């Protein structure tokens, strides 16, 4: 594209220069010619008064000799014979032919005859006798073309300068257009090779700038889509940990024997494979959860259903369980599978990271603008709640992926809420899940979040295992 623009600019400029310079050069040449002959006519006319007074040879010789052209031998006077058969009078050196002289007398106007070395200006002058004398003035070739060569050189220089300037400007414009296009092509190539960080500076002509904006937007969308895919793989894999926890607990109660050992080994191998899948996919950025009119569920009903599942395990391990706030329906703008996954992540952490016999509770608080779900236990707590809430932070716990709490946090943040960790009244960890009911309260609720459930808490740190399984 760059060289195409240069070639087009070169062709157009050359045509313009030729179209203007050639006629202008011819005009300059013609003007120099006209100037030379006009001066010659003016000098030749200087003898007209003398010829009107006298045709005496001696007087005419004196008059011709006193002129600059006469002294240089460029002036001649041709006087016809006074009587038929008489001798014509010629003063000076004649260069024009007899036919040109006769034609000038007959026409009665000045004419120009081409002679060796230049031109002869023939100026007719009327005599007192009624005849016509001709004053011949020689104009050298150099005087006719005086200044033409210089003018043509100036025109040629200006034309060349215009051509060079237009080519340089076209080249710069081409670079300004080509470089953004090259950067766009290079970024597209990099993106195609898997370098997802490739972006294009949004600069250049408006069209290429718009293309760069569209490319960057597309690249961001591709990265987001890939992140969402990894996120989905990580979350789906994490949900397998709930039945794996049950299998591991059941396998632990099988006693000894080859079959029991094989079962426990198979469960451990499956759990390791699931952990590998989660760790492979957990580098993705968080994905916004689906909310809205079609994504809501009854939180009380979901809590009851999950506690029916987990209470059996709690009874086997001798854990005391308390559930409150689920007597009436509690509608929240969260899809049922998302709430189920969040509850299973929290309860799975309790069973996985607290000793058998550790009590836990679930409380659901239904307010005007938010629903708060508290999951508390009597375990040892979490030393660093902030680190536990960071995505992918397993709390250095063996067998943890660090995605459990992140699943809960993303579910809450999708509604304008959040997740906080603190000490529970049971002496261990309390995870508070704040679920906004209008989806617009992320900033406004922050000031109030620490008040309602805070009356029941003693400070901030959370269950050890949430960070581990999060």
Instruction: Identify the bridge partners of residue 115 per DSSP, sorted by sequence position.
Output: 118
Instruction: Identify the bridge partners of residue 90 per DSSP, sorted by sequence position.
Output: 78
Nearest-angstrom CA–CA distance, 74 and 196: 90
Q: Does the pLDDT of residue 345 top 80, yes or no?
A: yes
pLDDT of residue 442: 41
Q: Does the pLDDT of residue 279 top 80, yes or no?
A: no
Higher-scoring residue by pLDDT: 135, 385: 135
Mean pLDDT of 262-285: 64
Nearest-angstrom CA–CA distance, 388 and 408: 12
Nearest-angstrom CA–CA distance, 288 and 15: 63
Tokens 């010829």 found at = 51
Q: Is the CA virtual torsion 363, 329, 335, 351 positive or negative?
A: positive
Domains of the chain are: 2-148 (3.30.450), 288-469 (3.30.565.10)
Task: Return the structure tokens found at 305.
Answer: 């259903």
Of 50-59, 319-328, 384-393, 438-447, the poorest mean pLDDT is in: 438-447
pLDDT of residue 132: 86
pLDDT-derived band of residue 414, with 50, 70 and 90 as boundaries? Answer: confident
Nearest-angstrom CA–CA distance, 28 and 23: 9
pLDDT-derived band of residue 74, with 50, 70 and 90 as boundaries? Answer: confident
Sheet strands side by side (includes 111-115): 89-91, 75-79, 132-140, 118-126, 111-115
pLDDT of residue 309: 84
pLDDT-derived band of residue 454, with 50, 70 and 90 as boundaries? Answer: very low
Does an H or E element contain 117, and which? none
pLDDT-derived band of residue 227, with 50, 70 and 90 as boundaries? Answer: confident
Mean pLDDT of 252-273: 71
Tokens 């005391």 found at = 320
Q: What is the pLDDT of residues 19-31, one digit of tens each?
A: 888 888 888 888 9
Task: Kindly list the distances between the CA atom of residue 56 and the CA atoms of 62, 91, 132, 153, in Å, as whole numbers in the listed order.
Answer: 10, 11, 15, 50
pLDDT of residue 238: 64
Q: What is the pLDDT of residues 81-95, one digit of tens each?
A: 777 666 778 888 888
Q: How many CB atoms lie within 10 A of CB 422?
A: 24
Q: How many CB atoms lie within 10 A of CB 358?
A: 22
pLDDT of residue 323: 95
Nearest-angstrom CA–CA distance, 373 and 379: 18
Nearest-angstrom CA–CA distance, 389 and 159: 74
pLDDT of residue 371: 94
Mean pLDDT over the full length of the chain: 78
The contacts of residue 7 (CB under 8 Å, 6+ apart) are: none
Task: Kindly list the distances between the CA atom of residue 441 and the CA atoms of 77, 293, 336, in Å, as whole numbers in the listed order.
Answer: 115, 17, 21
pLDDT of residue 170: 83
Nearest-angstrom CA–CA distance, 31 and 330: 102
Question: 131 phi and psi, to 5 degrees?
Answer: -85, 175
> Of 346, 338, 322, which Cα lies nearest the Cα of 430?
346
Mean pLDDT of 116-126: 87
The fraction of the chain above a pLDDT of 70, given in percent, is: 80
Higher-scoring residue by pLDDT: 228, 124: 124
Nearest-angstrom CA–CA distance, 422 and 411: 19
pLDDT of residue 278: 64
Task: Return the structure tokens found at 276.
Answer: 């590998």
pLDDT-derived band of residue 394, with 50, 70 and 90 as boundaries? Answer: very low
Chain center to CA of 339: 42
pLDDT-derived band of residue 461, with 50, 70 and 90 as boundaries? Answer: very low
Nearest-angstrom CA–CA distance, 305 and 79: 140
pLDDT of residue 373: 95
């Amino acid at each position: 594209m760059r060289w195409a623009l240069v070639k087009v600019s070169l062709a157009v400029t050359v045509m313009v220069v030729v179209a203007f310079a050639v006629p202008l050069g011819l005009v300059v040449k013609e003007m120099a010619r006209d100037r030379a002959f006009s001066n010659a006519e003016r000098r030749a006319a200087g003898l007209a008064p003398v010829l009107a007074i006298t045709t005496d040879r001696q007087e005419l010789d004196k008059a011709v000799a006193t002129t600059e052209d006469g002294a240089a031998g460029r002036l001649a006077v041709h006087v016809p014979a006074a009587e038929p058969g008489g001798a014509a009078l010629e003063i000076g050196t004649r260069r024009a032919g007899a036919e040109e002289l006769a034609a000038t007398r007959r026409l009665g106007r000045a004419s120009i005859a081409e002679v060796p070395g230049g031109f002869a200006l023939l100026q007719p002058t009327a005599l007192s006798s009624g005849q016509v004398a001709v004053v011949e003035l020689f104009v050298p070739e150099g005087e006719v073309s005086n200044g033409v060569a210089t003018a043509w050189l100036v025109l040629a220089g200006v034309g060349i300068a215009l051509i060079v300037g237009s080519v340089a400007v076209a080249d710069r414009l081409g670079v300004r257009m080509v470089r953004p296009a090259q950067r766009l092509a290079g970024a597209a190539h990099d993106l195609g090779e898997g370098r997802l960080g490739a972006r294009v500076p949004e600069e250049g002509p408006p069209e290429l700038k718009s293309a760069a904006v569209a490319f960057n937007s597309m690249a961001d969308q591709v990265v987001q889509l890939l992140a969402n895919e990894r996120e989905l793989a990580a979350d789906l894999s994490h949900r397998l940990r709930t039945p794996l926890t049950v299998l591991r607990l059941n396998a632990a109660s099988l006693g000894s024997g080859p079959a029991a050992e094989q079962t426990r080994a198979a469960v451990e191998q499956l759990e390791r494979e699931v952990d590998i899948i989660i760790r492979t996919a957990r580098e993705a950025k968080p994905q916004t959860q689906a909310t809205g009119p079609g994504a809501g569920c009854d939180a009380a009903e979901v809590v009851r259903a999950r506690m029916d599942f987990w209470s059996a395990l709690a009874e086997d391990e001798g854990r005391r369980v308390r559930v409150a706030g689920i007597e009436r329906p509690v509608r929240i703008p969260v899809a049922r599978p998302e709430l189920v996954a969040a509850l299973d992540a929290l309860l799975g952490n309790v069973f996985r990271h607290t000793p058998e016999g550790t009590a836990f509770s679930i409380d659901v608080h239904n307010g005007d603008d938010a629903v708060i779900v508290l999951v508390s236990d009597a375990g040892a707590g979490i030393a660093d709640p902030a680190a536990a809430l960071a995505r992918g932070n397993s709390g250095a716990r063996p067998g943890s992926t660090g995605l459990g709490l992140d699943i809960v946090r993303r579910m809450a943040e999708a509604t304008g809420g959040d997740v906080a960790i603190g000490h529970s009244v049971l002496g261990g960890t309390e995870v508070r899940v704040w679920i906004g009911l209008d989806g617009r309260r992320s900033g406004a609720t922050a000031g109030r979040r620490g008040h309602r459930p805070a009356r029941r808490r003693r400070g901030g740190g959370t269950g050890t295992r949430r960070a581990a399984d999060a």
